[in-house]
Amino acid sequence: MPILDAILDDFFWRALLGGLGIALVAGPLGCFVVWRRMAYFGDTLAHSALLGISLSFLVSLPLHVGVIITCVVLATALVLLSRTRALATDTLLGILAHSALAIGLVTLSFMPDVRVDLTGLLFGDLLAMSRGDLAWIYGGAVVILTLLALLWRGLLMSTIHEELARVEGLPVERLRLALMLMFSLVIAVAMKIVGVLLITAMLIIPAATARRLARNPEHMVGLAMVFGAIAVTGGLILSWYLDTPAGPSSVVTAFLTFLLVYGSTAQTRA
Amino acid sequence: MTDPLVTLDGLTVAFDDRPVVDQVNLSVHRGDIITIIGPNGAGKTTLIKSVLGIQKPSAGEVRLVPGMVIGYVPQHLVLESTLPLSVKRFMMLTGHSVSECRAALDKTGVGHLLNASVHHLSGGERQRLLLARALVRRPDLLVLDEPAQGVDINGQASLYQLIRQLRDELNCGVIMISHDLHLVMAATDRVICLNQHICCSGHPADISQDPAFIETFGHDVARSLAVYHHDHNHAHNLHGDVVEGDDGHLAHKECSGHAHP
């Protein structure tokens, strides 16, 4: 298709399409992060992505695959360690997040011939999006959205009341694992867009903004997707006209939208 | 007599080798209302969690009739404030139709709240919502963990009344935990006094005389229960006035030593 080709040849449109793809999955997953109080958890997974990248270089795996594997291993370790209750969960998260980040950086320094754009990984490089990245993003989005649609009732019910969900026969543990997998996947594909340090922001801010206006969980998910899309589009426009970094600009736009929505609505809660 | 819905056979649950529930034998049949009472830390919640399948027994066995549906009313519904949820959506998450959900809400007296947000409900309304949610699944066994907590006195009496009525309609078994001894005594067929093991069990009228009960709860409690016990053949409306009961027997103003205004 010549029109599609023309669009995909333009780096700005590639960046926009990629960003919108991320907003589509960050919306629903961000809602779960907010509902389940997993903000710090998401942050930890994002930090460990850097370890995933250095490990991928070490054993020459595709970057995305290395990141997904590292995130899944770390998420499983977290779930198991938090069950032992030896340390409070936030302490545990703090230890793992920064250790994973630091080990990743140290490992990278042992590979002098590997050139990595560290700033790009930490803060995102939206404008460097390739066609291959787009394929990863939309492939990941299809997988995540399909899983969410299939598991929706169970995921929501176990978020509302875990024991009630268990009594009603829902496989709570497996659902939790599925959610972890989806987080790992979204971090692997979103890393490129907003960077390791800002992924949590793209998950949480649109969802928190949506909370103000939503009356039902599904309503909140839809709004979070819209606010995510606004953030990415606004960020790219800012970046285009003011030559600001695209990732942080998206987060700034998300934050401004958040302020606007909270400032303009009355203090009521649905 | 038909087979029991639930049979606990030497059920023991231990945390760090300290038994919280010790060698409990219990069976629940259709139509039974069994209330578990006992001091804090007596293992009441652990016991019902074993029945629900949430807590694995350390020893012994929990046998359920295969395919049985359990309706569970947890102690609280603590909803994350970031999660917007209407009563209707919460009910529909059971997978039942709107009309079934509405019927269940009507039955527990909160049908008018169908479109309200769960965040805006009072303690009593939340309990009734949880009860409706359990009902819509047509349970064979209803398990309630302190259903009347956070509900005012009048509300408590009508809540227990409602539980009895639901038992009659559904012909289900009921297991509940309660602290409100006076109300329990009036609304229960069988009381289990639990303190890790079953101290004593039986009809409410008898149990308050039981030495094991008196030892656990003290003379004062036992005596006050003996005084307060009365046949529940009448009902109260929300103002506490006596209204027509089961056998058309009105105002019994001086029964069992308590008087109605």
Of B74, B89, B143, the CB nearest to A161: B74
Q: What is the DSSP string of chain A?
A: -HHHHHHHHSHHHHHHHHHHHHHHHHHHHHHHHHHTT-HHHHHHHHHHHHHHHHHHHHTT--HHHHHHHHHHHHHHHHHHHHHHTSS-HHHHHHHHHHHHHHHHHHHHHT-TT----HHHHHH--GGG--HHHHHHHHHHHHHHHHHHHHHHHHHHHHHH-HHHHHHTT--HHHHHHHHHHHHHHHHHHHHHHH-TTTHHHHHHHHHHHHHTT-SSHHHHHHHHHHHHHHHHHHHHHHHHHH---HHHHHHHHHHHHHHHHHHHS-S---
Whether residues A217 and B89 touch (CB distance < 8 A) is answered with yes
Task: Using an 8 Å CB-CB cutoff, list chain B residues near A215.
Answer: 84, 86, 117
Task: Using an 8 Å CB-CB cutoff, list chain B residues near A157.
Answer: 93
Answer whether A85 touches B (CB < 8 Å). Answer: no
Whether residues A167 and B70 touch (CB distance < 8 A) is answered with yes
Of A36, A159, A220, the CB nearest to B84: A220
Answer whether A176 touches B (CB < 8 Å). Answer: no
Residue pLDDT, tens place only, B248-259: 344 333 333 344
Bridge partners for B175 per DSSP: B34, B143
Whether residues B83 and A215 touch (CB distance < 8 A) is answered with no
Check residue B231 and give its pLDDT: 43
Check residue B221 and give its pLDDT: 65
Considering the domain boundaries, does residue A60 fall inside one?
Answer: yes
Q: Give the strand pairing for B70-73 and B235-236.
A: unpaired
| Residues B207, B222 contacting (CB under 8 angstroms) | no
For position A174, which CATH number holds?
1.10.3470.10
Q: Which has the higher per-residue pLDDT, A134 or A85?
A: A134
Check residue B43 and give its pLDDT: 84
In the predicted model, is pLDDT for residue A208 greater than 50? yes
Whether residues B84 and A153 touch (CB distance < 8 A) is answered with no
In the predicted model, is pLDDT for residue B17 greater than 70? yes
In the predicted model, is pLDDT for residue A251 greater than 60? yes
Whether residues A160 and B90 touch (CB distance < 8 A) is answered with yes
Q: Tell me which range, A50-64, A234-248, B2-16, is most confidently predicted by mean pLDDT.
A: A234-248
What percent of chain B clears pLDDT 70, i.e. is strictly above it? 77
Angle at A189 between CA A184 and CA A194, to 5 degrees: 105
In the predicted model, is pLDDT for residue B136 greater than 70? yes
Considering the domain boundaries, does residue A128 fall inside one?
Answer: yes
Confidence of residue B31 (pLDDT cuts 50, 70, 90): confident
Check residue A116 and give its pLDDT: 73
| Residues B25, B50 contacting (CB under 8 angstroms) | no
Residue pLDDT, tens place only, B93-133: 998 999 999 999 999 889 999 999 999 998 888 989 999 99
Nearest to B187 by CA among B250, B138, B144: B144
Q: Which of B81, B93, B142 to mutate to test the interface with A (most CBs of A within 10 A)?
A: B93
Whether residues A216 and B52 touch (CB distance < 8 A) is answered with no
Check residue A196 and give its pLDDT: 78
In the predicted model, is pLDDT for residue B246 greater than 60? no
Q: Which CATH architecture has domain B6-69+139-229?
A: 3-Layer(aba) Sandwich (3.40)
Q: Mean pLDDT, to the nearest integer, of A48-77?
A: 86
B134 min Cα distance to partner chain A (Å): 9
Q: In what order do the strands lie in the sheet with B33-37?
A: B70-73, B141-145, B173-177, B33-37, B190-195, B197-202
Considering the domain boundaries, does residue A268 fall inside one?
Answer: no
Check residue A230 and give its pLDDT: 96
pTM of the model: 0.83
Task: Using an 8 Å CB-CB cutoff, list chain A residues near B70.
Answer: 167
Whether residues A163 and B119 touch (CB distance < 8 A) is answered with no
Task: Using an 8 Å CB-CB cutoff, list chain A residues near B72.
Answer: 163-164, 167-168
Considering the domain boundaries, does residue A267 fall inside one?
Answer: no
**Identity of residue B158:** S
**Identity of residue A213:** L
Answer whether A220 touches B (CB < 8 Å). Answer: yes
Considering the domain boundaries, does residue A237 fall inside one?
Answer: no
Considering the domain boundaries, does residue A235 fall inside one?
Answer: no
Structural domain of A72: 2-196
Cα torsion B85, B91, B92, B93 to 10°: value is: 70
| From A125-139, A164-178, A200-214, the region with the lowest mean pLDDT | A125-139
What chain B residue is nearest to A213 in terms of C-alpha separation? B84
Check residue B193 and give its pLDDT: 80
Check residue B242 and give its pLDDT: 52
Residue pLDDT, tens place only, B65-100: 888 899 999 988 888 889 999 999 999 999 899 999
Bridge partners for B59 per DSSP: B12
In the predicted model, is pLDDT for residue B228 greater than 70? no
Answer whether A173 touches B (CB < 8 Å). Answer: no
Confidence of residue B220 (pLDDT cuts 50, 70, 90): low
Task: Using an 8 Å CB-CB cutoff, list chain A residues near B81.
Answer: 269
Residue pLDDT, tens place only, A17-45: 999 999 999 999 999 999 998 888 888 88
Considering the domain boundaries, does residue A113 fall inside one?
Answer: yes
Can you tell me whether residue B181 is helix, strand or coil? helix
- ipTM exceeding cut-off 0.85 for this assembly: no
Residue pLDDT, tens place only, A86-142: 778 788 888 888 898 899 889 888 887 777 777 777 787 878 888 888 898 999 999
Q: Which has the higher per-residue pLDDT, A75 or A242?
A: A242
Confidence of residue A261 (pLDDT cuts 50, 70, 90): very high
Number of independent structural domains in chain A:
1
Considering the domain boundaries, does residue A215 fall inside one?
Answer: no
Of A157, A168, A269, the CB nearest to B119: A269
Q: Mean pLDDT, to the nearest integer, of B236-247?
A: 48
Whether residues A216 and B84 touch (CB distance < 8 A) is answered with yes
